[in-house]
Amino acid sequence: MTFLEAFEELKTLFEKHDVSDTKEHFAYQFNITGDGSGTFYVEITDGKMIIRPYDYHDRDAEFTASLESFKGLATGKLDPVAEYLKGKIKIGGTIDKALKLKNILQKSTK
């Protein structure tokens, strides 16, 4: 799978989450390792989500994991904290903002 294919699949999964009540600003970078490797970012601000296939240098937190791990997070099948403790996801940046991702991904989908 190419990065653009992986990105489009993950973008579709992330966009299913309702962030309309999220007023705080979050900027996350996701680094896919292995199959479909590459980098994309998710920015959430004023109840809107923007997802682009680029590095985000002014990010709050950075996640590094396999495509399968990110699919599991985006669908709510995997807990980011549990995956971090197992060593399947690496997290950098502001830990408080990184932990907020779990709340965002647990919200009902559109």
- What whole-number distance in Å separates Cα of residue 102 and Cα of residue 98? 8
Has residue 110 got a pLDDT over 60?
A: no
At 108, is the pLDDT very low, low, confident or very high (cuts 50, 70, 90)? low
Q: What is the pLDDT of residue 86?
A: 95
Give 79-103 pLDDT, tens digit per residue: 888 899 999 999 999 989 998 888 8
Average pLDDT score over residue span 17-37: 94
At 104, is the pLDDT very low, low, confident or very high (cuts 50, 70, 90)? confident
Q: Domains, the chain, ranges and CATH?
A: 3-105 (3.30.1050.10)
- What whole-number distance in Å separates Cα of residue 10 and Cα of residue 72? 10
Give 52-79 pLDDT, tens digit per residue: 999 888 899 999 999 999 999 999 888 8
Average pLDDT score over residue span 9-26: 93
Decide: 50 and 43 in contact? Cβ < 8 Å.
Answer: yes
